[in-house]
Amino acid sequence: MMKETKIRNLRGELDEAIRIDERQLADSIRAIGFRCRKCAQCCRAEHGDNTVSIFPFEIRRICERTGLEPEDIVTPTPSLDTDSEGNIHTFEWVLRKDGDCIFLKSGLCKIYECRPYICKTYPFYLLEGRLMVSECMGLGGVISSEESQRIATLLKERYITEIKESILLLERFNGFNGFNGLNCLNPDSMRNICVHDSEGEHWVPERDKIRLI
């Protein structure tokens, strides 16, 4: 699909997202039920995929609060897209993990106040405007109307942000001379990585090169 068409479609999705009725969303959340058990399973590796995608402005906010550098806290998400020189191109940053999220210490989130949207809204997310839920021990718990309203507001905000970030990414994306040809390349070799995000292109420093597989 042409870039302009994708952007037009995303603008349509954005209009719909802005019209989402937060009160209805809050009612749906209350009907499902949720109470965080503070088990931190969603941050741990042993309980499944604990990957946290993160936007550039969220990375900046965490760096400002912690004094850490972006390369200390995020890494490019793995990708099979390569250019003709063998460099990897990817479209997302994810929080670093050492198995568990690097910010999980003694069962607590060390960046709780500035944690990314995904963490703030877990186990809920919106897909094509519909409420979805991930696996979570807290589902089914009793939730107050204030809390369900708070989550609904955050969910809508997250969804709108996701769409806006995708539009900006596409507007700034200049493409690359590439192919999806993992099998043509030596999987043991180390390559440079370019992350395309809503703020443009970022080439990952030499020390952060990652393996293709």
Positions touching ligand SF4 (CB under 6 A) are 43, 52, 95, 101, 103-104, 109, 111, 115, 119
CB of 37 to ligand SF4, least distance (A): 13
CB of 120 to ligand SF4, least distance (A): 8
- How far, rounded to the nearest angstrom, does the alpha carbon of residue 77 sit from its chain's CA centroid? 10
CB of 43 to ligand SF4, least distance (A): 3
Q: Give SS3 for 119.
A: helix
DSSP 205: P
Nearer to ligand SF4, 7 or 102 (CB): 102
**Distance (Å, whole) CA 122 – CA 160:** 16
Contacts of 42 (CB under 8 A, 6+ apart): 50, 119, 122, 123, 134, 136
Nearer to ligand SF4, 107 or 181 (CB): 107
Nearer to ligand SF4, 23 or 105 (CB): 105
CB of 108 to ligand SF4, least distance (A): 8
> Radius of gyration over alpha carbons of the chain, in Å?
19
- Work out the widest C-alpha separation in the chain, in whole angstroms: 55
Nearer to ligand SF4, 10 or 111 (CB): 111
